[in-house]
Amino acid sequence: MVLIMSSNIDWNDTIKKEARGSNDEDLGEVQEVTDDYVLVQRGLINKEKFYVPKDQAKSYDGSVLRFKVSEGEILNKYKRDSAPSSSSSDMNNNRVQQKQQEVGREAEETKIPLTAEKLGISKDTKESQTTITKEPTTETKTVQVPVTHEEVTIETRPPSGDTQAQTPVSSKEDISIPVKKEEVGEVTKTPYVKEEVVVKKKPITETKEVTEETTSERVNTSGA
């Protein structure tokens, strides 16, 4: 990407391109360029218009027009709804601003980077085992089992039909009547699924403190 300084900027090419302040603040989009000013507009509903003098442009890389002044300075000096008039007072103000900028550029600056350490914590995932044990338990159960048996009852009734009399019984006689009865037999045990146990896993997050010393730099000045 080629960086073009302010004196060689093709202003027609900056239309509809992004505009940024000296601290890389987003100022919106270039809408119009006149002989003296660059109209930059920001926002779709609450539109902000900045009429920034062309001499405040710093560079243009084909997609972004950058200014020498910050967003705060642009808001204070160049935000307005209409183009500024080229009155003598405005021209005087511009001259004063240019002189102030020239004075500021004359001061030497020395940039000293200060470093510091920040903590970076890694997390390791370890796998462990949770054992679920099934074991038999013994209990005594009592079951009521209905059993049936036959009993003999005796009743006396008049004879039915023509029944011939027999010779009277002269001796004791036993008559056997078969009867049935149920008895409890062999007890068997059959396994069945009584219920289910559902085992679930869910993540539980807890916060743990990590304490470590860090080093940062600071500046001390001392006179000769």
Q: Give the residue extent of every domain in the chain.
A: 4-85
**4-85 CATH choice from 3.40.50.10190, 3.30.360.10, 3.40.470.10, 2.30.30.240:** 2.30.30.240
- Provide mean pLDDT across the span 159-188: 80
Cα–Cα distance between 173 and 171 in angstroms, integer? 6
What is the band of 31 on the pLDDT scale with cuts at 50, 70, 90?
very high
pLDDT score for 88: 44
Is 29 a residue whose pLDDT tops 50? Answer: yes
> What is the model's pLDDT at position 12?
92
The β-bridge relationship of strands 64-67 and 18-20 is parallel
Closest alpha carbon to 113 in 213, 220, 219: 219
Q: Report whether pLDDT(94) > 50.
A: yes
- Residue 28: what pLDDT? 93
- What is the rounded average pLDDT of the residues 56-76? 93
Comparing C-alpha atoms, which of 17, 137, 19 is closest to residue 67? Answer: 19
CB 77 within 8 A of CB 94: no
Q: What percent of the chain has pLDDT over 90?
A: 38
The answer on pLDDT for 90 being more than 60 is: no
pLDDT tier at 164, thresholds 50, 70, 90:
low
Q: Which pLDDT band, with edges at 50, 70 and 90, does 158 fall under?
A: confident
Q: How confident is the model at residue 99 (pLDDT cuts 50, 70, 90)?
A: low
Instruction: Match 């920034």 to its residue by tokens.
Output: 52
Mean pLDDT of 109-114: 86
Cβ neighbours, 10 Å, residue 81: 8
String of DSSP letters for 5-18: EGGG--GGGGTT-E
